[in-house]
Amino acid sequence: MISNDIDFDAARRALASAGRTQIPGFLQAAAAEQLHACLRDEVPWEINERNRPPVPLSGQPDEASLMAEAYRTAGKGFHFVYDRYHMMEALRDHRDAHLLLHPVLRFLNSVEFIEFAKFLSGDRQIRKVSAQATRYRPGQFLMTHDDKIDSEDRRYAYVINLTRRWHADWGGLLHFTDHKGAIVDSLMPAWNTLNVFRVPFQHYVGLVSPWAHEPRLSITGWFLP
């Protein structure tokens, strides 16, 4: 599934020195296309908003009101609203067995991928990989945070970007900030790229512009011991 044409040594050095790296052309072309089609056409998305349990899109009667409330709350502190599909819960609960995301989750926890994660990060304690599919539509966002939580020892975060075409003025970039809140780096959600960064590291996903022609699609999660 992983492309054979990547300079992983360079990516490893970048991650060690800067705490973040982006790897273009990460998946083999056919695998990237199949995953994109799955995320675009097949996933039963739910709206993930900080102040309430995730709600299936089919059961959300007034999304405009939800978004308006999210914007009001965002002015008071950390907030987010985006679409998600929790791959680990779905596999555990035997839901949506037809989805390609289930074998993808198994691959992310295979010996091959775990060894790749250990090599890339230099952390030999990594034993498993969590995963969720995410979709950001116009108006959705994820405010500044560092991914560190007490209940899970997250060592590195990753994002497999699967949006076919993206433009910077569509928003939705992954921004990294310093302790003063200034942006130190920004990564485009470019087609078939892998982003990996050390936890904790302050970052946010910029609000997706109303004129974005496509949703921002990805598979995200963490490398865990």
Count of structural domains within the chain: 1
- Return averaged pLDDT per consecutive 10 residues of the chain, 225 residues in all: 92 96 97 97 94 75 84 91 96 94 97 97 97 97 96 97 95 96 96 98 97 97 98
Beta strands in 17-173 (DSSP E): 20-24, 46-49, 55-56, 80-85, 128-129, 132-136, 141-145, 156-161
Q: Which residues contact 125 (CB under 8 A, 6 or more apart)?
A: 155, 225
Give which of 135, 136, 133, 130 is closest to 149, Cα–Cα.
Answer: 130
pLDDT for 206 equals 97
Whether 169 and 225 have beta carbons less than 8 Å apart is answered as: no
The pTM for the full model equals 0.94
1 within some domain: no
What is the number of other CB atoms lying within 10 angstroms of the CB of residue 192? 22
143 within some domain: yes
Residue 82 lies in domain: 8-224
29 within some domain: yes
Upper half-sphere CA count for residue 39 (Cβ side, 13 Å): 30
**Helix 111-121 vs helix 8-18: crossing angle, to nearest 10:** 50
3 within some domain: no
2 within some domain: no
pLDDT for 60 equals 63
* Residue 171 DSSP symbol: -
* Residue 6 DSSP symbol: -
105 within some domain: yes
Whether 199 and 175 have beta carbons less than 8 Å apart is answered as: no
pLDDT for 62 equals 80
pLDDT for 54 equals 80
pLDDT for 126 equals 98
Q: Which residues contact 208 (CB under 8 A, 6 or more apart)?
A: 136, 137, 138, 139, 140, 141, 170, 171, 172, 215, 216
What is the number of other CB atoms lying within 10 angstroms of the CB of residue 29? 10
pLDDT for 160 equals 98
> How far apart, in whole angstroms, are the C-alpha atoms of residue 149 and residue 182?
23
CATH of the domain at 143: 2.60.120.620
